[in-house]
Structure 1
């Protein structure tokens, strides 16, 4: 077993476990949590469905990243990662992260103005910064992948 397979196989196992956990959260945990919140805090009951939809969309964006990462791992295992085939998957990761970031930023703005304790807005601001860095880092990584793909194509043409 080569070094790539030693990393790809455990990573795929962890991705499956993460994906399954996200599905459970989408189907059972989040809707149940917000239904409970609406029962316990009737003044916040109007947030039940918007927060349920928001959380499902956020988790869906993470699931898209997982599926795209799986496909990129397939390309790594077959030594085709530096090809044009990998770019659409990286683009999908960037779009999913970007959409997730915009959704989270919107909730940050909404809750930031409602909060009477600075703890939650400060925590959410940190998460907004981390998300923005992650999206921009993926854009840079895509540019590097594009350059490496071009260099590999040029080298194959020379050889």
Structure 2
């Protein structure tokens, strides 16, 4: 058994755990937190639903990445990772990262113009830079996967 195949099963287990935790956050924890904040600070209660929607959307983006990673792991297990099918799932991951990045950028800009202290804008800037690095890394990985897929297709044609 190849080392990457030995990593597939534990990774799938942790993806299921991660997905479950994300569902709990999405349905219970985040809405409950924003409800509690609205009760404690009634003057800010009008943003409760906006913040809940944004938080649920960002968690949804992570869930999309988890599902796409699961599908890619299935392709690895079936020794079909170097096919055009894998590029579709990498594109799904890139789309989810881009959507989340755009939402965080909008939040960063809004908070940046309304913040009293630099803490929140700096944290959002860190998240933006990390998201940019992750997105660009995925672009590079997609290019490598595309090259490997082309080489594999060429090799299969020769054999």
Per the alignment, residue 40 of structure 2 pairs with: 40
> Within 1, Cα distance between the matches of 2:46 and 2:108?
18
Q: How many residues align?
A: 159
What do the CA deviations read for 1:24-50 (whole angstroms, capped 9, x no partner)? 001001111001111111221111000
Q: 1:81 aligns to what?
A: 81
1:153 match? 153
TM-score normalised to the size of structure 1?
0.96
Q: Who is 1:120 aligned against?
A: 120
Identify unmatched segments of 5+ residues in structure 2.
Answer: none
Alignment-derived partner of residue 68 in structure 2: 68
Single out whichever of 27-36 and 111-120 deviates more from structure 2. 111-120
Deviation of 1:114 (Å) = 1.6
TM-score (norm 2): 0.96
Q: CA RMSD in A?
A: 1.1
Q: Which consecutive segments of 4 or more residues in structure 1 shift more than 3 A?
A: none
For 1:58 and 1:134, locate their aligned partners in 2 and report how far apart those are by CA, in whole Å.
15
**Which residue pairs with 1:19 in the alignment?**
19
The one-character-per-residue Cα deviations of 1:61-92 (angstroms, maximum 9, x if unpaired) are 00000000000001111111001111111110
- Unpaired runs of at least 5, structure 1: none
